[in-house]
Amino acid sequence: MKERRVVITGMGAISPLGLDTQSLWDGIRTARSGIGPITLFDASNLETRFAGEVKGFDANNYMDRKEVRRNDRFIHFAIAAAREAIAMANVDATTVDAEEIGVVIGSGMGGLTTLTENMQIMAEKGPGRVSPFMVPAMITNMAAGQVSMMHGFKGPNFCPTSACATAAHAIGEAAEMIRRGVATIMIAGGSEAVITPISVAGFNANKALSTRNETPETASRPFDVSRDGFVMAEGGAILVLEALESAQRRGAPIYAELIGYGLSADAHHITAPAPGGEGAGRAMKMALKQAGITPSAVDYINAHGTSTGAGDIAETMAIKSVFGDHAYKVAVSSSKSQLGHLIGAAGAIEAVICVLAMQHQVLPPTINLVTPDPECNLDYVANAARPGKIDIAVSNSFGFGGHNVSLALRRWSV
């Protein structure tokens, strides 16, 4: 069977910059920060007291009130983002074979809010008061399960969990299913709602988070010499991936083509990247090879760029090792400077940003880049978006445990 081409026909986003893809793009192009003080709970006793929260979100706008109570916030985000993406792509299980439509939505940490709330209930009131909906609200696969049930999609359905590489894995594996003929349309992405006391305390304990509490909007500063850790964030993002011939037959809008998927393991350390970004480099090389393009064809790289000391340097070194002299010509930026780190949803929100950047021919910025680290000396599109030709973009996602994913996307033109 001839391998099928995979295109993107819909996108949805719930993020610290807004409740849809247009709000996300408006925030990106205007270099706005979505980071602020934590309001979801009292964070006064924590070392880090800020995050990238989703503001103004009401799950009741997307589902029945009873279902809102039975599902965790990370599932709410997935349902909302999927709804926007599915509407954009005009996918309907009554007009397209439901068994040809699958869902792969990942989450790095799942329903932490549900888990911690029920642990407190058990401690205070006993096991008989634990909610019967705790487990289905908490487990990471239920975002994919709920989206499939709500829309009647009966194709492949599962949930990858690979820390910060989760959503990129979801997109890549969904595309592979379409290429192999296992499905025709895949709803793919990630969702995360990890702004909880225990998760912030845990990341503080391993010294991963910024503690720039006085100026939270400047705390995420990838590639800057004064960076002091990443900023936690929440949200969800979904792409509708579709076989090209199906999209053309349906007359669906086509926004971009997913042309390459690379993945690798560092096999090095539970949190630190491999020396020189070796594993990350292999993932990028694999994505370019599958895409059938040379490094010089890439116009823009949406970096993983977490604002951590070792991570930013390792990724910069990886880019140099793969792209050679072209590394100094290709635009590189980190959307986490504006959004914070959406953990299991990061790869999807950043893939959406790549598609929007290609649509608008605008290079997204890295904000808060005041004094570049001498070891980070590429073009990071500092502090303001700028016009730029983007025909091919690469999106990088690297997770704790040494999980590396790189996605290559091409601008769609008829």
Residues assigned a catalytic role = 164, 304, 341
Report the candidate in 409, 106, 404, 408 with the shortest Cα–Cα distance to residue 263: 404
- Estimate to the nearest angstrom the gap between the alpha carbon of 11 and the chain centroid: 12
The tokens of 403 are what? Answer: 């999980």
Per-residue burial over 375-412, b if 16 or more Cβ lie within 10 Å, else e, is ebebbbbbeebeeeebebbbbbbbbbbbbbbbbbbbbb
d(CA 168, CA 344): 9
The tokens of 58 are what? Answer: 């009401």
d(CA 221, CA 204): 17
- Contact at 8 Å (CB) between 61 and 368? no
- Contact at 8 Å (CB) between 369 and 340? no
The tokens of 150 are what? Answer: 């709500």
Can you list the alpha helix ranges (DSSP code H) found in 194-296?
197-205, 244-250, 278-291
